[in-house]
């Protein structure tokens, strides 16, 4: 039986700089048998560890439809673990265990129009679902991605944003708080994009991910636009130390984010408004 507490060594095969403090690490397992046995779904996370530094939960940003590798997009927050990982290079080793948590609905939303509303590094967990959708594009209706960041440099996955724009029946709308010379898109928070494009709730599902304050206002706008509470999904962040619902670090009420989340429907989360930073 697999021991859920044992981390497995992985080798970094590529490192891509997304912004001044964000990098995407592409990895493969050092043990080939693990490459085939590590099955994950869109929206799940893993516990990443660097010997001597500790362990931290990080979303898996690669799509399960793309085999032979995993990807993690990590912001150097100044914490011990994220700093240690951010200093690693191609060929270096760290460890992971997982996958943990639930996932974004996929089969349930086939045939629907999809909205992805996100900010900053919040695009990282959504990227797993977006690329899964793009790899099976005929199974879904219209796709609209609304993405905001503080500055143009802080927009992640810039090359993929351009690729997604070129896929039929797919739109990408961008906004930044502080534009630079040559910026030709919207200026302001992500909800400013409601002025630029029509948000239609008919046969649609929306996925929201980003800072808690952004999630709150995006959810409010989606509800004002006519979305049903059952058709809105988001993710919650907590320090999911064990990943197994044992340590109690990530509980909200009777829920454990690492087991019952990190993906939640809005209808479920609105029961916990008294907990700090639910939205």
Token duo for residue 238: 């907590």
Please tell me the distance from the alpha carbon of residue 25 to that of residue 85, in angstroms, as a whole number: 9
What pTM does this model have?
Answer: 0.93
What is the structure's pLDDT at 278?
A: 58
Domain ranges within the chain, ordered by starting residue: 8-100, 107-235
Q: What is the mean pLDDT of residues 114-124?
A: 95
Tell the CATH topology of 107-235.
Rossmann fold (3.40.50)
Nearest to 99 by CA among 156, 153, 29, 52: 29
Nearest to 262 by CA among 25, 106, 5, 58: 58
Please tell me the distance from the alpha carbon of residue 279 to that of residue 269, in angstroms, as a whole number: 9
**Which tens digits make up the pLDDT trace of 245-260?**
888 888 887 889 999 9
The label of the residue with tokens 């095969």 reads: 13
Q: In what order do the strands lie in the sheet with 54-59?
A: 54-59, 45-50, 93-100, 8-19, 22-29, 70-75
CATH number of 8-100: 2.40.30.10
CB distance 49 to 80 below 8 Å: no
**Which tens digits make up the pLDDT trace of 172-220?**
999 999 988 888 888 899 999 999 999 999 999 999 999 888 999 999 9
Q: Is 39 exposed, middle or buried (0-12, 13-18, 19+ CB in 10 A)?
A: exposed
């Amino acid at each position: 039986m697999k021991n859920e507490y044992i981390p497995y060594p992985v080798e970094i095969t590529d490192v891509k700089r997304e912004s001044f403090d964000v990098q995407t690490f592409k990895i493969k397992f050092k043990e080939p048998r693990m490459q085939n046995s590590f099955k994950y779904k869109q929206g799940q996370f893993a516990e990443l560890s660097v010997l001597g530094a500790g362990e931290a939960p990080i979303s898996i940003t690669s799509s399960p439809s793309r085999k032979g590798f995993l990807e993690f997009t990590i912001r150097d927050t100044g914490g011990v673990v994220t700093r240690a990982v951010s200093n690693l290079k191609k060929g270096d080793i760290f460890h992971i265990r997982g996958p943990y948590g639930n996932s974004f609905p996929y089969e349930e939303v086939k045939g629907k129009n999809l909205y992805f509303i996100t900010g900053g590094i919040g695009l990282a967990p959504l990227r797993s679902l977006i690329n899964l959708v793009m790899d099976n594009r005929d199974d879904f209706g219209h796709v609209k991605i609304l993405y905001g960041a503080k500055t143009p440099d802080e927009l992640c996955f810039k090359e993929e944003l351009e690729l997604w724009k070129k896929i039929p029946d797919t739109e990408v709308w961008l906004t930044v708080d502080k534009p630079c010379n040559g910026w030709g898109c919207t200026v302001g928070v992500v909800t400013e994009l409601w002025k630029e494009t029509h948000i239609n709730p008919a046969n649609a599902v929306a996925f929201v991910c980003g800072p808690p304050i952004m999630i709150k206002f995006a959810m409010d706008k989606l509800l004002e636009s006519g979305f049903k509470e059952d058709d809105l999904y988001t993710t919650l962040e907590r320090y999911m130390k064990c990943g197994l619902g044992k340590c109690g670090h990530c509980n909200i009420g009777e829920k454990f984010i690492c087991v019952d989340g990190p993906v939640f429907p809005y209808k479920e989360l609105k029961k916990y408004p008294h907990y700090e930073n639910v939205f």
